[in-house]
Amino acid sequence: MTNNTGRLVDGKLQPPTRQLAMVFDLNKCIACNTCTIACKTQWTRDEGMDYMWWTITNTLPGKGTPKDWEESGGGFISGNKMRPGHMPTKEDFGAAWEFNYDEVFQGGKGNKVHLKPKGNPQWGPNWDEDQGGGEYPNSYFFYLPRLCNHCNHPACVEACPRKAIEKREEDGVVLINEKRCKGYRFCMEACPYKRIFFNFEKDVSQKCIFCYPRLEQGVAPACARQCPGRMRHVGYLDDENSSVYKLVKKWKVALPLHGEFGTGPNVYYIPPMAPPRTGADGNPDYSKPRIPPEYLEGLFGPRVNEVLNTLETEMQKRRDGKESEIMRTLIVYKWPQDIFPSFSKEPADLVPVKGVKK
Ligand code: SF4
C-alpha cells in the first residue's frame, strides 16, 4: 500500500481514477445481519477485534452503533472546515460481553441458574433492535446497514497527522496503513459516521477495507455476496452497465446518508417505503405517510420524497402489468451478474493470498 502523500496537489487529495460504490435497497433489508457475520468471520476475528463490527445493520429510529453516532460530530462544515467530533469508546460501540458459562455449566446448580451476561451491561451493538418510533397502531421502523463510506473527501484522511490513511487511486477505496498508524485516533473523532475502531491490543485504528483483496480477484465483498436479500449492489460509478451507476447517476433514486456531513459518501440508499397509516376506524389512512417525511429528509436529504414518489410510480407500473426498469433492477432477477457485474466470480475460486480467506 502507498500512502496518500504522492496524490496530494497543493495540499488537496486528488480524486481517484475510478470510484467504487455500494447501493443498499432498504426495502429489501430484513436485518438478518448475515452481512455483519460474513464480515466478522472474514476480517475481525483477531486479537483486539472482538468488539468490532465493520458493517452492522441497525434499526431506525434508534441510537445505532456506536450509541448516538449521528450526534457525535466530525466531518466538515462549509467545505474544508472540520467539525469537532467525539471519539467513541468501546462501550459506545457495545463491548463484547462475558456470560456466566462457569456458573451454568460447572456450578452444580442444575437448572436453577440460567445463561445471562455478567456485569449488567447497559448497551450493546443493536441494543435497540426493532424498537423503532411512532405510536401504535402507526409505529414504524426500518433497517439501516452501515459501513465505511469510502468517501470522496474523507475526514479520516484529513485528520491523520501520520498520513496513514490512503484513498486508492484505482478504485477510491479508503484504507488505513497499520504500519504508519501510531494510534492517535484523530480519525475516529473526524469520521462523522463513526466507522473506525481502535484495536487496543495492537494500538492501531482499523476499519472496513471494502474486501479489496476479493475485489482484486473479481469477487464481491463478503457482506454483499452473502446478503440473502440481494440488496447490496456493488459497482463503479462510471460503469454505465452497472446497477450502481443506473440507481445513483441515471435514475437518481439512491441517496447518500447524511450528505450534510460533507465527506461525499460512496454508499447510497434506496429510501424505505412503508405501509399506509391505520386510521381511527381501522381502515388505511392515506392523509400522511407512516414514516414522517421530515425524519427521512434528516437522513437522506431534501430529495427523499421525490425519490419515494418515483418508487411508488414504478411499483404501480408493475401492478398494472407494465415494465419498470427500476423495479427490475431492484428485484435483481439475475444474481450475481446483475447486482455486482464486475465482481461476479465465485468466492470458491479465490486464489489464497496472505490475509484473505474464502
Ligand atoms: Fe473515513 Fe469515515 Fe468516510 Fe470511512 S466513512 S472514508 S472512515 S470519513
Per-residue model confidence as pLDDT tens digits over 228-284: 999 999 999 999 999 999 999 999 999 999 999 999 999 999 999 999 999 999 999
CA of 151 to the centre of ligand 1 (A): 6
Q: Which helix (H) or strand (E) holds 319?
A: helix 304-319
CA of 160 to the centre of ligand 1 (A): 12
Mind listing the pLDDT tens digit for each residue in 26-67?
999 999 999 999 999 999 999 999 999 999 999 999 999 999
Cell match 440473502: residue?
228
11-96+123-349 folds as: Alpha-Beta Plaits (3.30.70)
Residue nearest to atom 2 of ligand 1 (CA): 191
| Range from 104-108, 130-134, 208-212, 338-342 carrying the lowest mean pLDDT | 104-108
Q: C-alpha cell of 256?
A: 447518500
CA of 333 to the centre of ligand 1 (A): 32
Q: What is the mean pLDDT of residues 135-146?
A: 97
DSSP, collapsed to helix, strand or coil, labels residue 59 as: strand
Q: Which atom of ligand 1 is nearest to the CA of 157?
A: 1
CA of 246 to the centre of ligand 1 (A): 24
Q: Which atom of ligand 1 is nearest to the CA of 196?
A: 7
Q: Which residue among 69, 72, 83, 151 is best mutated to probe the pocket of ligand 1, counting the most ligand atoms within 8 A of its Cβ?
A: 151
Residue nearest to atom 4 of ligand 1 (CA): 148
CA of 77 to the centre of ligand 1 (A): 16
Query: What value does the mean pLDDT of the chain take?
Result: 94
Show the ligand 1 pocket: residues with CB < 6 angstroms: 148-151, 154-156, 174, 191, 193, 195-196, 207, 263
DSSP string, 192-236: TT---EEETTTTEEE---TTHHHHTTTB--HHHHH-TT--EEEEE
CA of 149 to the centre of ligand 1 (A): 6
Q: Which residue among 205, 208, 263 is best mutated to probe the pocket of ligand 1, counting the most ligand atoms within 8 A of its Cβ?
A: 263
Sign of the CA dihedral with 297 first, then 66, 261, and 312 last: negative
CA of 188 to the centre of ligand 1 (A): 9
Name which of 349, 153, 355, 336 is nearest 235 in CA terms. Answer: 336
Q: Which residue among 198, 207, 260, 266 is best mutated to probe the pocket of ligand 1, counting the most ligand atoms within 8 A of its Cβ?
A: 207
Percent of the chain, pLDDT > 70? 96
Q: Which atom of ligand 1 is nearest to the CA of 190?
A: 8
CA of 147 to the centre of ligand 1 (A): 9
Phi, psi of 114 (to 5 degrees): -115, 160
DSSP E strand boundaries for 73-169: 76-77, 81-82, 142-146, 165-167
Mind listing the pLDDT tens digit for each residue in 189-234?
999 999 999 999 999 999 999 999 999 999 999 999 999 999 999 9
Work out the angle at residue 86's Cα, subtended by the Cα atoms of residues 149 and 78, and round it to the nearest 5 degrees. 65
CB contact at 8 A, 353 and 213: yes
Model confidence at 97, in pLDDT bands (50, 70, 90)? confident
CA of 191 to the centre of ligand 1 (A): 5
Q: Which atom of ligand 1 is nearest to the CA of 74?
A: 8
The model carries a pTM of 0.94
CB contact at 8 A, 167 and 173: yes
What are the residue boundaries of the structural domains of the chain, listed by start?
A: 11-96+123-349
